[in-house]
Structure 1
Amino acid sequence: MGKRKLVVEDLYALQSVTNPVLSPCGGEVVFVRTHIDEDQNDYVSNLFHVDVLSNEVTQWTFGKGRVSSPQWSADGTKIAFLSNRDEKNQVYVLSTKGGEARALTSFEKGVSSYLWSPCGKKVWVNGSVKEGKAFTDKEEKDEKKFAVPYRVTKMKYQMDAVGLLPQDIFKQIGVVDIETGEVTQFTEGNHQYTLQAVSHDGTKIIMSVNKSENQDYEFGQPMVIVDVETKEETVLVDEEGNFGGATFSKDDRYIAYVGANRTFQNTTHTDVVVYDTTDGTRMNLTESIDAPVGDYAIADLQQGVSAPAVVWTKDNHLYFQLSTMGDVRLYFATLDGAVYPASPENEHIYGYDISIDGTFAIVAVSNAISPGELFKLEITTGERSAITSFNQTYVEEVELIEPEAIVFQGAKEWDVHGWLIKPAGYVAGEKYPLVLNIHGGPAMMYGNSFVHEMQLLAAEGYGVLYINPRGSHGYSQQFVDAVRGDYGGADYEDIMASIDFVTSENEWIDTDRLGVTGGSYGGFMTNWIVGHTNRFKAAVTQRSISNWISFFGVSDIGYFFNDWQHGANMTDVDALWAISPLKYAENIETPLLILHGEKDFRCPIEQAEQLYITLRSMGKETEFVRFPGADHNLSREGAPNLRIARLDEITGWFKKYL
């Protein structure tokens, strides 16, 4: 019996396996498995345990909410994790011998992150506190719940997936006693503190805080090392840029962290830097690698992924993720400058942990036809053995199409990489429509990872083309920076060159039935494309940008993003209008479906409204679908029923016009 074709409802069948964490002795692993509960229309995640030797997998929690951030105590007798089973995220502690997990915190506004104290008797917590209040204070409830005005005095007053930011709430750091539950607040003042690390001897913590009075143009937080007893601070890093992920070496001598300065604004490559506490020197371990540290791959399955920035072994070796050529690989580094890959090509390592002796890793791995599982990777030999098999039956029963990697010449004769998927049931000699799918960012990348949306389009009978045009991460600093100041220029040329290349190389592509879609930057580019060519017979634009002038004032990032990416602001509206797709609306003849979330603060829905009304007023073929309550992450983390509806809209539009 042949395999069945993938369907949109398969989102409910797929399971996300993430966040593996090794026990101190290295013999056990805990991880998080997430699935969609169709009845409650929500994501449910629970904690699982596996014995490394026997591969016996056991479910440890059974709640209907979400769990995240599992951590072992230093002696391996307890597990802590965050859970929203009581609405707000709180810290829970579970004995490894069994029994029920108990809530350690019950903070009014929950806990954003936490870290074990090495003694195992305390937990450091990071959470929001109202000005003048403590973690444990309860707010007085307004039973009438009347709406009140919201006064805006800052430019940073809203955020996608959050909404309006409370003006009198500040993130503080505290310590909770495991036995008594007593909470001691460690930081104070009207500042936003972020807990980064705790030293192995328990005498120091690392935290981030920016105490500048005006935060509107502050885009990073200096990191400081703090003596727990005296609260004396030593600056770890204080320069313009984004730095974090700090962690102490096993002997506490070194501190590794990741970050990027502002040389190329938000397209600057992230590096791994090591600070020596004995003499204050620092080493950039990845300076010679022309690719960014971290995971920049776009996927739509893995939920709640939180991989460590850097992991130390006892020999002061380091491991980290690197996004390169469409892969996210595990890399190894030594303090004397040796850096090399520790995992194969053609896959996406989206989670990992390393044994303390550095002999093996536990890795969460996906590729184009594998949704993702946990594996044990022997570092020295490269041998790999499967630990989980949650998606095995699905992969065995469903036809998943292996993409073909392509390389072609884009603008300025630069090489551009991408992938082409043939339609399910492909028969040589037949003609098929093709859909071009453009990623967002633009400083992200498509990669060798499972994307349900791509496989769905193939299952619906379309060829699928997805590429990494200039502006994408994973190639070089020059490549990712090349889009700045040139939106709709060479990036557009790259994308159109991809169509030229695949249609010349693949006779099965029906050049009269080409479709295009994309979200965020990909939505901008979809709008731009249909305003500049009639080559495509149908288009779907998602969470898009149509007008950079209004974007400046309505997006949560608009006032600085325009400066960073276009070198223009409201003193030069002509420059912003010249690269706004709305300017070219009169040229659009391609039937255009507009999809947008109503709670999108990144690319607010007014961008879609302007485009739709303009096109309709001109008598163009267009429709507009609004998704209530959905933010910018609808396609990846939105309400499951809305994700299904979105995919139905996309496939329905292409079915109608292609």
Structure 2
Amino acid sequence: MKAADLELLTAVSAPTVHPGGGRAVVSVTHPSLAADATVGQLWTIPLVGHAAPRRLTRGFRDTAPRFSPDGRLLAFLRSAPAAAPQVFVADAAGGEPVQVTDRRLGVSEFVWAPDGRSIAFVSRVPEQGRYGTVEGIDAASERPRRFDILNYRANGLGYITDRRAHIFLVPVPDVWAEPAVMPIAEADGSSAPAPSVPEAAQLTDGPWDDGSIAFSPDGSTLAFVSARHASRDDDLRSSVFLVPVDGSRDPVDATGAHGDLSVAGVSYGLNGALYFLAQEVGESGRDFVARNAALSVIDVPGAAPRRLTDPETQDFTESDIVAYRDDSVLVRDRRRGALVLTEVTAAGESTRLTNDTTVVGGVAAAGEVVVLSIADASTAGDVAVLGPDGVRRLTDFSAPLRAAGVIAPREITVTARDGYPVHGWVVVPEGEGPHPVLLNIHGGPYAAYTGALFDEAQVYAAAGYAVVMSNPRGAAGYGQQHGRVIRQRMGTVDMADVLDFLDGVVEQTLGLDGERVGIMGGSYGGYLTAWTIAHDHRFAAAIVERGFLDPEAFVGTSDIGSFFGDEYTGTDPELVRSQSPQAVVEQVRTPTLVMHSADDLRCPLPQAERYYAALKRNGAEAELVVFPGEDHELSRSGRPRHRRDRFDIILDWWAERLPSAHNHS
């Protein structure tokens, strides 16, 4: 895979399954260099017979499909170029979609009411006079913002206190009715009102964000997640709330009195039990480091929650909850670089349904029919059905990408210097070598590399580099203790693990040149790259991208600055400095490319600017690259042309400092 092959990188959404079990629908999207945006449509996937998958819609970007409970309608989100997504509904058999919402800031999620007559959705409510609510007042002309809280911005969004997310209910229009026409003026100058979308009723309000919505099976109640407690600005707690759809009473907190929880998702089971995923965040409400999300259930309204899974052995942080059988749900366990589909019963019994190498990105069920969106070493995204013999793939959206060139990663476990097993992968380019090596470090730190097709590793391997990727201590998927060991000890065993893994891979793999090695990483990976090159000078060059580089300057500038550094590096000034790349930057002798995005609010641009300036002032060879209009997610979901530019810049850097047979000046 080359940088120009980005358009072949196809992503598949979570599926929706027709209640009859005969077909599924997914959103299939990909980066478009021509549009400089992610584009895609809905596809219908037959589950029986031999018919081929086919494109169902033709919008610019159609996503998040959901069949109505009776299967007659299909709702989804549609985005026009440079416009916010809105809810549309179409005849499930095919036909012109009908627009349901026209929210100025768009819709982020929606669910069908059980009777199929209405849809609940989440949308941000702009403060009057901001975000284009008044014609002629642009962002630069808005009145000043005043804050009395710490958490007032979010990466990828910007200011949030003047556009809170709330829940709405809208009736579903008749998609079979005669379409409304745009009236023209009468002779006297009067005219009938223009056609409009159905009017939505707002169900929640207040200075907080509401989301992750779910209808009770009888349709009378909406469950959602929110942080409405008095100390919400100082902790990470959130709760499941219940609100009657008829608006007869205010939302009620169903979980806040039952522990120090940060709730990630909520859903009802088929039998009416209320399931939710939550992390324990301790008495302080801020102890989030390497806390796995466990599944809990509220059996009947008003009952105390029961925790069904052990967060030390199972991690549902990247999962949603899908009702399956009367007494069970489907969730996805983050484990050793995979997302494993797991059935959990109301009695707390867990059954793993997929293997340890497949990344299950989404799941839907209709009766006994279970459909998955998956990724593995051969695909960036495809649709599969779960059968008695395992997973059977139904699509092959990544075939063009494989034709362009994909190399399967080799899974390796290396014993670190203290005897600890470090798990990861190496992608070895074609040819005998010896190949120069790139040590890649993932972000998080409580995240993980997987064995699935990864565009970055493929691009570097196609350029002639062996790519080494590990999940050191601090990473997710190996239990909470594995992740928590670096709490207030960043740059200790995690650095040792990535270096020992590098040495072990070079020793165990033929064709690698252990004397010609580069190092690179983003976010926490940028942190550990910067920290490592201050202590180990073996590397020909380094790339520090969107890094957490100066913990002291993180507070007050990052959208997570009020808690992230406190928990990961501590609050004692000497302890913080003992883990700070900025504090040891004068030790760096490695040529370093510092890459960042101008609108990054997670690791703000000054993190890079201060680090780069210190490198230059200390005489190190360094270059700074800043991407305009991008945030912390550039490498994953940024503008396609910027993503291509990023790859070109990276390969140019390595061509100069660590040339390969296929990438040199």
TM-score (norm 2): 0.89
Distance 2:147 2:650 in 1: 38
- State whether structure 2 residue 460 is matched by structure 1 residue 440: no
User: Structure 1 147/374 Cα, relative in aligned 2: closer, same or farther at 3 Å?
Assistant: same
Distance 2:506 2:413 in 1: 14
- State whether structure 2 residue 136 is matched by structure 1 residue 142: yes
Alignment partner of 1:33 out of 28, 39, 47: 28
Q: Secondary structure at the match of 2:556?
A: helix
- Structure 1 residues 497-551: Cα deviation after superposition (integer angstroms, max 9, x where no partner): 1122123333532222111000000001110111111111111110112211111
In 1, are the aligned partners of 2:72 and 2:91 still within 8 Å (CA)?
yes
Distance 1:192 1:326 in 2: 31
Distance 2:421 2:450 in 1: 16
Alignment partner of 2:296 out of 273, 277, 282: 273
Distance 1:551 1:601 in 2: 10
User: Structure 1 115/507 Cα, relative in aligned 2: closer, same or farther at 3 Å?
Assistant: closer
Which is further off, 223-232 or 330-339? Answer: 223-232
Amino acid at match of 1:110: G
Distance 2:128 2:39 in 1: 35
Shift of 1:417: 0.4
Q: Which residue of 2 aligns with 1:129?
A: 125
User: Structure 1 283/493 Cα, relative in aligned 2: closer, same or farther at 3 Å?
Assistant: same
Amino acid at match of 1:84: S
Distance 1:216 1:227 in 2: 27
In 1, are the aligned partners of 2:523 and 2:545 still within 8 Å (CA)?
yes
- State whether structure 2 residue 128 is matched by structure 1 residue 105: no
Alignment partner of 1:364 out of 344, 348, 373: 373
Q: Secondary structure at the match of 2:611?
A: helix
- State whether structure 2 residue 491 is matched by structure 1 residue 491: no
Amino acid at match of 1:458: A
Distance 2:354 2:626 in 1: 42
Q: Which residue of 2 aligns with 1:76?
A: 71
Aligned pairs (5 A) from 1:564-643 = 564-568=567-571, 572-643=572-643
User: Structure 1 399/132 Cα, relative in aligned 2: closer, same or farther at 3 Å?
Assistant: closer
Amino acid at match of 1:354: A
In 1, are the aligned partners of 2:59 and 2:79 still within 8 Å (CA)?
no
Aligned pairs (5 A) from 1:275-424 = 275-277=298-300, 280-287=303-310, 290-295=313-318, 309-356=320-367, 358=368, 360-378=369-387, 380-382=388-390, 384-395=391-402, 397-410=403-416, 412-424=418-430
Shift of 1:453: 0.7
Shift of 1:211: 2.6
Q: Secondary structure at the match of 2:488?
A: coil
In 2, are the aligned partners of 1:244 and 1:258 still within 8 Å (CA)?
yes
- State whether structure 2 residue 47 is matched by structure 1 residue 47: no
Amino acid at match of 2:8: A
Distance 1:466 1:593 in 2: 20
In 2, are the aligned partners of 1:125 and 1:195 still within 8 Å (CA)?
no
Amino acid at match of 1:228: V
Q: Which residue of 1 aligns with 2:229?
A: 212
Aligned pairs (5 A) from 1:191-202 = 191-194=208-211, 196-202=213-219
Which is further off, 93-102 or 442-451? Answer: 93-102
- Structure 1 residues 444-470: Cα deviation after superposition (integer angstroms, max 9, x where no partner): 000111101101111111111100000
Q: Which residue of 2 aligns with 1:251?
A: 271
Aligned pairs (5 A) from 1:638-649 = 638-649=638-649
Q: Which residue of 2 aligns with 1:153?
A: 148
Which is further off, 215-224 or 443-452? Answer: 215-224
Shift of 1:637: 0.4
Distance 2:460 2:249 in 1: 56
In 1, are the aligned partners of 2:132 and 2:138 still within 8 Å (CA)?
no
User: Structure 1 354/97 Cα, relative in aligned 2: closer, same or farther at 3 Å?
Assistant: closer
Q: Secondary structure at the match of 2:650?
A: helix
Q: Secondary structure at the match of 2:555?
A: helix
In 2, are the aligned partners of 1:403 and 1:422 still within 8 Å (CA)?
yes
Q: Secondary structure at the match of 1:266?
A: coil
Amino acid at match of 2:253: V
Shift of 1:616: 1.2
Unaligned stretches of 5+ in structure 1? 1-5, 296-307
Shift of 1:130: 4.0
In 1, are the aligned partners of 2:374 and 2:384 still within 8 Å (CA)?
yes
User: Structure 1 496/37 Cα, relative in aligned 2: closer, same or farther at 3 Å?
Assistant: closer
TM-score (norm 1): 0.90
Distance 1:365 1:512 in 2: 37
Shift of 1:485: 0.9
Distance 1:412 1:605 in 2: 37
Unaligned stretches of 5+ in structure 2? 174-196, 659-665
Amino acid at match of 2:366: S
In 1, are the aligned partners of 2:506 and 2:514 still within 8 Å (CA)?
yes
Q: Secondary structure at the match of 2:438?
A: strand
Distance 1:480 1:46 in 2: 38
User: Structure 1 535/151 Cα, relative in aligned 2: closer, same or farther at 3 Å?
Assistant: same
Q: Which residue of 2 aligns with 1:518?
A: 521
Distance 1:460 1:193 in 2: 45
Amino acid at match of 1:272: L
Amino acid at match of 1:29: A
User: Structure 1 355/582 Cα, relative in aligned 2: closer, same or farther at 3 Å?
Assistant: same
Give the aligned CA root-mean-square deviation in angstroms. Answer: 2.2
Shift of 1:221: 2.4
User: Structure 1 287/56 Cα, relative in aligned 2: closer, same or farther at 3 Å?
Assistant: same
Q: Secondary structure at the match of 1:478?
A: helix
Distance 1:381 1:210 in 2: 43
Alignment partner of 1:175 out of 169, 176, 184: 169
Q: Secondary structure at the match of 1:211?
A: coil
- Structure 1 residues 329-372: Cα deviation after superposition (integer angstroms, max 9, x where no partner): 1111222332121012212111221232x3x3211121123222
In 2, are the aligned partners of 1:291 and 1:473 still within 8 Å (CA)?
no
Amino acid at match of 1:407: T
In 2, are the aligned partners of 1:291 and 1:477 still within 8 Å (CA)?
no
Q: Which residue of 1 aligns with 2:52?
A: 56
Shift of 1:261: 1.2
Which is further off, 558-567 or 218-227? Answer: 218-227
In 1, are the aligned partners of 2:5 and 2:404 still within 8 Å (CA)?
no
Amino acid at match of 1:580: S
Q: Secondary structure at the match of 2:107?
A: coil
Equivalent pairs: percent with the same residue?
28
Q: Secondary structure at the match of 2:141?
A: coil
Q: Which residue of 2 aligns with 1:228?
A: 245
Task: State the aligned residue count.
Answer: 624
User: Structure 1 122/224 Cα, relative in aligned 2: closer, same or farther at 3 Å?
Assistant: same
Shift of 1:412: 3.8
Q: Secondary structure at the match of 1:174?
A: strand
Shift of 1:411: 5.4
Distance 1:62 1:348 in 2: 28
Amino acid at match of 2:245: V
Amino acid at match of 1:22: V
Q: Which residue of 2 aligns with 1:462?
A: 465
